[in-house]
Amino acid sequence: MKAELISIGDEILIGQVVNTNAAFLAEELNKLGIAVVRITTIADKAENIPAVLEEASTRAELVLTTGGLGPTSDDVTKYCLAEYFNSRVSLNPEVLERIKVFIHARGGIVNDKNAGQAMLPDNCEVLPNRSGTAQGMWFSKDNITYVALPGVPYEMKEIFQNELAPRLRRRFILPVIHHETVLTSGISESAMAKLIEEWEARLPSNISLAYLPSPGILRLRLSGTDNKPDRLLEEMRTELKKLEAVIGPYIFGYNEDRLEEITGNMLRKKGLTLSLAESCTGGKIGELITSVPGASDYFKGGIIAYSNEIKSDQLGVSPATIETYGAVSREVVHEMAAGALIRLKSDYSVAVTGVAGPAGGTDRKPVGTTWIAIAAGDKITSKVYHFGEHRGRNIQKAAITALFMLKKELEGNR
């Protein structure tokens, strides 16, 4: 089954709002085995809507609109839908009653704007809204299903989950689609493409691959279809195993995993604590680690040693070491990691020092040069990286790479 999404709203066309509704619906419909083939955003103007519905119905069996159902005068979708489906708009007493109960429960008074939300096209099936007054609507015409949902994200989501998804499951025979995303770090998109070229070329035709890069992380998404769920799962598992055999050392997780959560869980399970010594990342690693609820179970804290003075005073890095080797060096990152371990009394420590840019680069240590060390007990592992020219991305890559190195150390691999 194919679907098209139509987002109605001027706020998206002027970039004031990012279209998260479409992302939510696309993901949820995909999980149901409904492929979204197009997403269209148009202005909330009466003249646009019928043509877009007409076009969509030539390509999809399910046409889903969001937005344009609010109580204010600039929301015209409802009347356009009524006209498009040759319907009259009339008062739905049941809906009016629900709206009254909803507003009274919140201590409000029903005005004519709210009451107007009970004026609905005669020939639609109402999809009740439990968290607002704009109702969802289900229409059928020439074997095409049209659904209109409000644009307020939490209202739209609630109607989708409670009303629309169950109806779609009941009324249509939906195919099986399965997605698996492999999360990797430490390799560029083009190097990855080269590495998995052969495997990719031999993928069965019902399984497709997508590369999803972001700074420090490259996600590989496998999407498979088959009418037999078990066979598909088996087939995907086989392909995943082959892929893992090729790119194993770069993999840090799957699907919705986050590196900071994975490393955090490893620390918690082993009963270990962590501290940080951050120079060029300036607090970014701490921010990632503490974005995970419950991080206090294993995270003690850190020193943001931005100046050399703090590297020496707070981490015990010898001024002579800085003088001799420079602040961005193997020697300094080792002393930083050791200092954090001892002074912050943790089992593991992570230290980073680098040239984030745009200034500060030299011929021998250009912008992007970054030393990362992991210390545990009396063992320190360190490595130098050459990221890029962009300050923000260098910081992001350094933080992700440091967590990836920590994960490998916690696993006992290097």
Which residues 255-284 are close enough to bind a copy of itself by CB under 8 A? 276, 278, 280-284
Among 175, 301, 316, 361, binds a copy of itself (CB under 8 A): 301
Please identify, using beta-carbon distances, which residue of 71 and 251 lies nearer to a copy of itself: 71
- Least distance from a copy of itself to the Cβ atom of residue 377, Å: 20
Q: Could you say whether residue 106 binds a copy of itself (CB under 8 A)?
A: yes
Residues 328 to 347 in contact with a copy of itself, rule: CB under 8 A: 343-345
Question: Which tokens belong to 104?
Answer: 């009274």
For 91, which DSSP code?
E
Q: Could you say whether residue 101 binds a copy of itself (CB under 8 A)?
A: no
**Contact call for residues 372 and 385 (beta carbons, < 8 A):** yes
Q: Could you say whether residue 164 binds a copy of itself (CB under 8 A)?
A: no
Which residues are 210's β-sheet partners? 221
Q: Could you say whether residue 113 binds a copy of itself (CB under 8 A)?
A: yes
Q: Could you say whether residue 17 binds a copy of itself (CB under 8 A)?
A: yes
Distance CA 40, CA 62 (A): 14
Q: Rounded to whole angstroms, what are the CA distances from 355 to 213, 369, 371, 388? A: 23, 6, 9, 10
Distance CA 165, CA 158 (A): 10
Which residues are 178's β-sheet partners? 224
Question: Which tokens belong to 207?
Answer: 């399984």
**Contact call for residues 182 and 243 (beta carbons, < 8 A):** yes
**Contact call for residues 275 and 338 (beta carbons, < 8 A):** no
Please identify, using beta-carbon distances, which residue of 71 and 175 lies nearer to a copy of itself: 71
Residue 293: asked if its preceding bond is cis (omega within 30°), the reply is no
Among 58, 93, 107, 271, binds a copy of itself (CB under 8 A): 107
- Least distance from a copy of itself to the Cβ atom of residue 412, Å: 26
Among 359, 377, 378, 412, binds a copy of itself (CB under 8 A): 359
- Least distance from a copy of itself to the Cβ atom of residue 227, Å: 19
- Least distance from a copy of itself to the Cβ atom of residue 123, Å: 27
Please identify, using beta-carbon distances, which residue of 110 and 233 lies nearer to a copy of itself: 110
Using CA of residue 193, residue 196, residue 197, residue 202, what is the dihedral sign? negative
Q: Could you say whether residue 362 binds a copy of itself (CB under 8 A)?
A: no
Residues 364 to 383 in contact with a copy of itself, rule: CB under 8 A: 368
For 96, which DSSP code?
H
Please identify, using beta-carbon distances, which residue of 91 and 212 lies nearer to a copy of itself: 212
Q: Could you say whether residue 36 binds a copy of itself (CB under 8 A)?
A: yes
Among 58, 72, 205, 413, binds a copy of itself (CB under 8 A): 72
Q: Could you say whether residue 28 binds a copy of itself (CB under 8 A)?
A: yes
Amino acid at 224: G
Among 101, 154, 227, 362, binds a copy of itself (CB under 8 A): 154
Distance CA 258, CA 65 (A): 32
Q: Could you say whether residue 133 binds a copy of itself (CB under 8 A)?
A: yes
Phi–psi pair at 408, nearest 5 degrees: -65, -40
Distance CA 402, CA 351 (A): 8
Q: Which stretch binds a copy of itself (CB under 8 A): 14-22, 79-87, 121-129, 228-236?
A: 14-22
**Three-class secondary structure assignment of 189-215:** HHHHHHHCHHHHHCCCCCEEEEEEEEC
Q: Could you say whether residue 406 binds a copy of itself (CB under 8 A)?
A: no
Please identify, using beta-carbon distances, which residue of 288 and 374 lies nearer to a copy of itself: 288
Q: Which stretch binds a copy of itself (CB under 8 A): 21-29, 85-93, 245-253, 375-383?
A: 21-29
Q: Could you say whether residue 104 binds a copy of itself (CB under 8 A)?
A: no
Residues 179 to 238 in contact with a copy of itself, rule: CB under 8 A: 179, 181, 188-191, 193-194, 200, 208-213, 221, 223
Q: What are the DSSP calls for 155-174, one per residue? A: HHHHHIIIIIHHHHHHHS--
Q: Could you say whether residue 175 binds a copy of itself (CB under 8 A)?
A: no
Name residues whose C-beta falls within 8 Å of residue 60's C-beta, 6 or more positions apart in sequence: 2, 3, 4, 37, 38, 144
Q: How many CA atoms lie within 13 A of 376 on its CB side?
A: 16
